[in-house]
Amino acid sequence: MDDDQNERSRRQFLTLGAGIAASGLLAGCTDDAGSGGDTDAPTATSTDEPTATPTDAPEATETATPQSSVETPYSVSIEPMGSVEFESVPETWVANNGSWADMGIALGLEPPEGVWLSGRFHTQYYDDIPGVSVDKSDMVSLYQDGGVDKEIFYELDADVHVFDPNFLMNRFQNWEEQDVAEIREEIAPIFGNCIYAQHYPWHSDYRYYSLLEGFEKLAQVFDRTDRYEAFEAVHDDFQSNLAPHVPNQGERPEVAVLWGVGNEPEEYYPYIIGDGTGFKHFRDLQVRDALASTDIKDFHGSRAAIDLETLLEVDPDVLMLRGYEAMGGGKFEDTVVSFLEDHDTASALTAVRNGDVYRAGGLYQGPITNMVLTERTANQLYGADAELFDRERVAEIVNGDL
């Protein structure tokens, strides 16, 4: 990319329509702690919230800080910012969600100082990986009291802000171009791309990145490309181990991915399986989408819910429900599944009758959490009953044993 292209790309995020937010993109969004200003987490009653007290959090994995090999200053390019210059390798950081936060954990970094909602960075996914744990008891939720306060970035004083500035301007009120420029110029660089889903109108003019592409970019920022390359090999092995467990198309069940409204869900926000890191585990498993061939509109575009009667008309083989990751599997069975089994309409669903109602995994996935969720879903849908990635090797990479 030449200098002119870099400058155009850098300016692009400042000129992409702040007017979109004012024109009603946020209409229908809930401004409560349950939604976190994120309409992909639709309701205040969803249970995708932290359930453990800070004392329940595991101890953070101690990682050695490697001697930097990069010549400073250095630059890393990512859209929409273009080429972002760093005077030195960052040490502290904030991230917009668990996708980027998990990438940082995979690179052996200390957890980010803050994320949009710390309750949706599901650190329980690390429980089954020996030698890897994350203490988020001091992690700050950037979204508070219905918005994101600029002052919180000054208080955190991070070395880099890993988020897409267009997300900030278009999803949170009172954020304008000059506010983003102030954070970048007065505190630290902004570096990121909204990669978890691919539906935002304001993201249509610049590229998305896959999970591995975004991971590689972050590794370049933190001068840890050796760990990225080691993880890339683990990911390749994981894909090879996964392939034999994916049945032929005609043998795969039809699955409906939905966000349940509350612990006794009679309404659901439908998700059509698409691109973005939040759907990677479904794509890798070649899941047959029960909603894709119906008239039901994806929640990303419609912001509308469907009821149980509509769901019964589709009658998918399997229900994969989002919004319940913090519950744990046992509580999910005792609370949500039990309600469906006792409900007059829900109990007629094939998935409920056959015991095929599962948690769908979080929207925010990085290299570790994606493997955990894909393996879990392979077992639920296809009876894989196998350990599909090398947990010991993951721990070695996180801890710098390459």
Q: What is the pLDDT of residues 191-215, one digit of tens each?
A: 999 999 998 899 999 999 999 999 9
pLDDT at 42 (0 to 100): 56
For residue 259, what are the CA distances in angstroms to 33, 294, 359, 377? 17, 17, 10, 16
pLDDT at residue 302 in the model: 85
| Per-residue pLDDT reduced to its tens digit, 170-179 | 988 889 999 9
Domain locations in the chain as residue ranges: 3-238, 246-398
The helix (run of H) or strand (run of E) holding residue 94 is strand 93-95
* pLDDT of the residue at 39: 40
Tokens 């849908």 correspond to 381
- Exposed/middle/buried for residue 174 (C-beta within 10 Å: 0-12, 13-18, 19+): exposed
* C-alpha–C-alpha distance, residues 227 and 357, integer Å: 36
* DSSP summary character for residue 361: -
Q: Strands 288-289 and 254-260: what pairing? A: parallel
> Which residue from 332, 192, 365, 183 is spatially nearest to 260, judged by alpha carbons?
332
Token match 């970094």: residue? 109
What percentage of residues in the chain have a pLDDT greater than 90? 79
Rounded distance between C-alpha atoms, residue 394 and residue 238, angstroms: 11
User: What is the Cα–Cα distance from 105 to 103, expressed in whole angstroms?
Assistant: 5
Q: What pLDDT score does 38 carry?
A: 41
Q: Which residues of the chain register pLDDT less than 70?
A: 1-68
- The C-alpha atoms of residue 196 and residue 211 are separated, in whole angstroms, by 8
Residue 325 sits at the vertex; the CA angle it makes with 303 and 355, to the nearest 5 degrees, is 90
pLDDT for the residue 67: 54
pLDDT at 301: 79
**Phi then psi for 270, rounded to 5 degrees?**
-80, 140
For residue 12, the model assigns a pLDDT of 42
Domain 3-238 listed as CATH 3.40.50.1980 = yes
pLDDT for 44 equals 36
CATH code at 246-398: 3.40.50.1980
